[in-house]
Amino acid sequence: MQTSATIAALSTGSLPSGVAVVRLSGPEAFAAVRALCGGLPVPRTLALKTLRHPTSGIALDQGLVAIFPAPNSFTGEDCAELQVHGSPAGVKAILTALTGACGLELAAAGDFTRRAFENGKLDLTAVEGLGDLLAAETESQRRQALSRLEGGLSDQIIIWRALLLDARAEIEARLDFSDEDDVPFALPAHFIEDLQSLGRGLKEALSTYDRGRIVREGFRIVLAGPPNAGKSSLLNRLAGSDVAIVTAEAGTTRDTKDVAIDLGGQLVTITDTAGLRDTDSLAEGEGIRRAQSAIQAADLVLWLIPPDGETLPSVDLDVPLWRLGTKSDLGGTALDVDLSLSVLTDEGITALLKRLESHIEGRLGPSEASLVSHLRDKEALDRAISSIETALTHIDQPELCAEDLRRAADILAGLIGLMDNEAVLDRLFAGFCIGK
């Protein structure tokens, strides 16, 4: 366990609130609680205490206090939690007493979770799962994040890494005795097949990345088409509020606008874009460039076609596209469309939502949580698979094969944090809120 300064922070949401939890962690956590409360409660048991300033004795608040001795705590250090009233003045007074009279430091973003990682309470994928859980907005995100937090990915990585280490040991054991005439260099008959099977396992996990990414980040739908096709009106209808400006003037939308909705328990991000056309306006031209970029990054494009509009997009698309005929209430619905709708009368809206929900379910496949959901996962598995494939080409060159297997094992070790990359750690923990 690492020895460090004792930190404190408000771990609950913005004030005022019904209850505020002040969290402490570090070697002086219990001394600080004793200074404020006059004594310590039984470990892992809530006790009602009056909190007083350590020097003046002035009462600061009354609340429930719990202590968690190391190593059986979230951070692996001595921890304490003060459950007090959610008063801005009260919480400020408690934190001031802790940092002033007790000498504690205010925690920065992610400090508690980082200590949990450094003290072996969480591995790196579990830390990411915790961050995903805190940010989860839908049921599917909650399930996937909880699976990651509970070790769904890290347990599998440990198995894969152990198999790689075993394979490397097979080669190096024979290399160590290669100068002895009575010990021939011959790998087990199943060696190549085992490596191939391991590679297939990693590829199978990697194939779930698209599904995991969609659950974690949201399914990206882009509304595209010519000016005045009804894109902003449809965005407002799907969002249930007037989030985009709608006028009869063509070219009103000059930038992309994202709105998140919950569709059947899945997070869906809908992006409104500028109408695609030739223009001399620099502002509109930039909006069109951003629209084209959003289209290429989409999971699905809804190409909106007004009664008098073009039925085919004027840009090359590499993503699925549905053609929607808009403003059907005006009559003269565009031909060759997948669905006709009207925001004014709601015609086709329910059918569109049902079709979208079915399409997204089809993309996500089985309902179980995906192991692979972060770009970091994808990149690491890609590199590990490549190293295993290279090792198979070096079977007749045992020194190179062993090095390829070492590289693959190290890549997987880095994924769960056994081999630290300080830049990765700094970026990851900076994304947490203060108090977590």
Express each pLDDT in 64-119 by its tens digit: 999 999 999 999 999 999 999 999 999 999 999 999 999 999 999 999 999 999 99
- Whether residues 306 and 262 share a domain: the answer is yes
What rounded mean pLDDT belongs to the chain? 86
Domain membership of residue 423 (yes or no) is: no
Point out the domain boundary residue: 65, 99, 121. Answer: 121
CATH number at residue 50: 3.30.1360.120
Determine if the peptide bond prior to 16 is cis (ω within 30°): yes
- Whether residues 360 and 230 share a domain: the answer is yes
- Whether residues 57 and 17 share a domain: the answer is yes
Determine the 3-state secondary structure of 258 from DSSP: strand
Residue 101 · residue 53 · CB < 8 Å: yes
- For residue 156, which of 412, 365, 387, 379 has the smallest C-alpha distance? 412
CA 83 to mean position of chain CA atoms: 29
- Whether residues 334 and 377 share a domain: the answer is no
- Whether residues 94 and 226 share a domain: the answer is no
- Whether residues 224 and 344 share a domain: the answer is yes
Point out the domain boundary residue: 364, 392, 426. Answer: 364
Domain membership of residue 282 (yes or no) is: yes
User: pLDDT tier at 51 (50, 70, 90 boundaries)?
Assistant: very high
Total count of domains within the chain: 3
Question: What pLDDT, on a 0 to 100 scale, did the predictor assign at position 180?
Answer: 56
Domain membership of residue 155 (yes or no) is: yes
User: pLDDT tier at 367 (50, 70, 90 boundaries)?
Assistant: low
Residue 326 · residue 342 · CB < 8 Å: yes
State the average pLDDT over residues 227-232.
85
b/e per residue, 115-143, with b = 16+ CB within 10 A?
A: bbbbbebbbbbbbbbbbbbeebebebbbb
Rounded CA gap, 87 and 83, in Å? 12
Phi, psi of 68, deg, nearest 5: -135, 95
The residue that leads in pLDDT, 121 or 296, is: 121
User: pLDDT tier at 282 (50, 70, 90 boundaries)?
Assistant: low
Point out the domain boundary residue: 121, 145, 173. Answer: 121
Rounded CA gap, 390 and 392, in Å? 5
User: pLDDT tier at 248 (50, 70, 90 boundaries)?
Assistant: very low
Residue 266 · residue 360 · CB < 8 Å: yes
Question: What pLDDT, on a 0 to 100 scale, did the predictor assign at position 327?
Answer: 85
State the average pLDDT over residues 252-274.
81
Residue 374 · residue 144 · CB < 8 Å: no
- Whether residues 112 and 137 share a domain: the answer is no
Domain membership of residue 1 (yes or no) is: no
Question: In the chain, what percentage of residues exceed pLDDT 90?
Answer: 55
Residue 247: exposure state from Cβ atoms within 10 A (0-12, 13-18, ≥19):
exposed
Rounded CA gap, 230 and 247, in Å? 10
User: pLDDT tier at 251 (50, 70, 90 boundaries)?
Assistant: very low
User: pLDDT tier at 381 (50, 70, 90 boundaries)?
Assistant: very high
- Whether residues 219 and 358 share a domain: the answer is yes
The residue that leads in pLDDT, 277 or 340, is: 340
Please give the C-alpha separations between residue 79 and each of 8, 23, 140, in angstroms, as whole numbers: 10, 7, 32
CATH number at residue 306: 3.40.50.300
Residue 127 predicted with pLDDT over 50: yes
- Whether residues 263 and 319 share a domain: the answer is yes
Domain that holds residue 186: 126-208+372-417
Residue 190 predicted with pLDDT over 80: yes
Determine the 3-state secondary structure of 62 from DSSP: strand
State the average pLDDT over residues 149-172.
92
Residue 316 predicted with pLDDT over 90: no
Sort strands 7-10 and 17-25 into parallel, antiparallel or unpaired: antiparallel
Determine the 3-state secondary structure of 325 from DSSP: strand
Domain membership of residue 283 (yes or no) is: yes
Domain membership of residue 19 (yes or no) is: yes
As a dihedral over the C-alpha atoms of residue 254, residue 256, residue 260, residue 266, rounded to 10 degrees, the angle is 140
Question: What pLDDT, on a 0 to 100 scale, did the predictor assign at position 371?
Answer: 83
- Whether residues 356 and 408 share a domain: the answer is no
- Whether residues 204 and 221 share a domain: the answer is no
User: pLDDT tier at 255 (50, 70, 90 boundaries)?
Assistant: low
Domain membership of residue 422 (yes or no) is: no
Domain membership of residue 381 (yes or no) is: yes
- Whether residues 261 and 152 share a domain: the answer is no
CATH number at residue 186: 1.20.120.430
Sheet holding 257-263, edge to edge: 257-263, 266-272, 219-224, 300-305, 321-325, 339-340
Question: What pLDDT, on a 0 to 100 scale, did the predictor assign at position 22?
Answer: 97
Determine the 3-state secondary structure of 32 from DSSP: helix
